[in-house]
């Protein structure tokens, strides 16, 4: 059974299907293993909902009136909302499901689904959501630390990441070698790092990708 991380907010499972019977059955299934859930009858209703900042996954019908499941997935991707999705599909929707997987879906299950298999997939999905959430929080903390640096410290850290020595940085910025070393000490203190390698790793992680928005 899925075990939540005591240091992370309780996860939630969002269910979107225009068939209320499906929503009710999934709510009952999730209640049976004490997982919090919230159901929606349309993609628009879900998008308008103010989601709490917590690990979450999405159980989504691929065909719905109005905005389809695929269209919602595309919109979430465009908004960089990072939430693993399990698609529910009907017979004959396999090509659409393949497209959903290519766009980053976690899995797709054909209706009628086996309840235990659905639970297993949801629990795996939540584990991924929790790992993503922890990684997001870590990157966000690192980014906030980097934003605390002064303009001069930012100049120096970028030159360090580019591989320049303190001597070369001093020459480039027309300051003394000692001044560069003092700035390096302040940078390590602000970032909570002990080595240049840790500083470089932190900067590259935050440079490498735009922070995704968690649900």
Residue 143: inside a domain = no
Residue 138: inside a domain = no
Q: What was the pLDDT predicted at 212?
A: 52
Residue 140: inside a domain = no
Model confidence at 195, pLDDT cuts 50, 70, 90, reads: confident
Residue 129 belongs to domain with CATH number: 3.40.50.2300
Q: What was the pLDDT predicted at 211?
A: 46
pLDDT of residue 95 exceeding 80, the answer is: no
Do 129 and 152 belong to one domain?
no
Tell which of 106, 133, 160 closes a domain.
133
Do 163 and 128 belong to one domain?
no
Residue 155 belongs to domain with CATH number: 1.10.10.10
Do 27 and 123 belong to one domain?
yes
Q: What is the 3-state secondary structure (H, E, C) of 170-183?
A: HHHHCCCHHHHHHH
Model confidence at 91, pLDDT cuts 50, 70, 90, reads: low
Mean pLDDT of 51-78: 91
Question: Using CA atoms, how far apart are residues 58 and 126, in angstroms rounded to an integer?
Answer: 9
pLDDT of residue 202 exceeding 90, the answer is: no
Do 81 and 175 belong to one domain?
no
Do 112 and 85 belong to one domain?
yes
Domain that holds residue 175: 148-214
**Measured distance between the N- and C-terminal CA atoms of the chain, rounded to whole angstroms:** 23
Rounded to the nearest integer, the mean pLDDT of the chain is 87
Mean pLDDT of 62-76: 90
Q: How many structural domains comprise the chain? A: 2
Tell which of 98, 133, 168 closes a domain.
133
Do 122 and 165 belong to one domain?
no
Model confidence at 210, pLDDT cuts 50, 70, 90, reads: very low
Model confidence at 1, pLDDT cuts 50, 70, 90, reads: very low
Mean pLDDT of 126-138: 89
Q: What was the pLDDT predicted at 149?
A: 92
Residue 199: inside a domain = yes
| H or E segment and range at residue 16 | strand 12-16
Do 107 and 33 belong to one domain?
yes
Tell which of 133, 167, 200 closes a domain.
133
Residue 84: inside a domain = yes
Do 28 and 85 belong to one domain?
yes
Residue 27: inside a domain = yes
Give 34: exposed, middle or buried? Use CB within 10 Å, 0-12, 13-18, 19+: exposed
Model confidence at 60, pLDDT cuts 50, 70, 90, reads: very high
Give 135: exposed, middle or buried? Use CB within 10 Å, 0-12, 13-18, 19+: middle
Do 170 and 119 belong to one domain?
no
pLDDT of residue 3 exceeding 60, the answer is: no
Do 26 and 119 belong to one domain?
yes
Do 127 and 199 belong to one domain?
no
Predicted TM-score of the model (pTM): 0.75
């Amino acid at each position: 059974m899925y075990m939540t991380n005591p240091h992370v907010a309780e996860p939630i499972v969002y269910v979107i299907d225009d068939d209320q019977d499906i929503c009710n059955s999934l709510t009952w299934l999730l209640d049976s293993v004490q997982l919090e859930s919230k159901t929606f009858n349309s993609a628009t209703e879900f998008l308008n909902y103010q989601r709490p900042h917590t690990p979450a996954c999405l159980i989504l019908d691929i065909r719905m009136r109005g905005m389809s499941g695929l269209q919602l997935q595309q919109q979430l991707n465009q908004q960089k909302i990072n939430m693993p999705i399990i698609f529910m599909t009907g017979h004959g929707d396999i090509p659409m499901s393949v497209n959903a997987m290519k766009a980053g879906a976690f899995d797709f299950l054909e209706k009628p689904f086996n309840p235990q298999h659905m639970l297993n997939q949801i629990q795996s999905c939540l584990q991924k959501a929790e790992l993503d959430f922890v990684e997001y929080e870590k990157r966000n903390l690192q980014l906030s630390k980097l934003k605390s640096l002064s303009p001069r410290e930012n100049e120096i850290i970028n030159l360090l990441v580019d591989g320049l020595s303190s001597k070369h940085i001093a020459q480039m910025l027309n300051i003394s070698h000692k001044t560069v070393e003092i700035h390096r000490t302040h940078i390590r203190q602000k970032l909570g790092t002990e080595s240049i390698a840790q500083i470089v790793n932190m900067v590259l992680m935050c440079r490498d990708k735009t922070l995704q928005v968690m649900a």
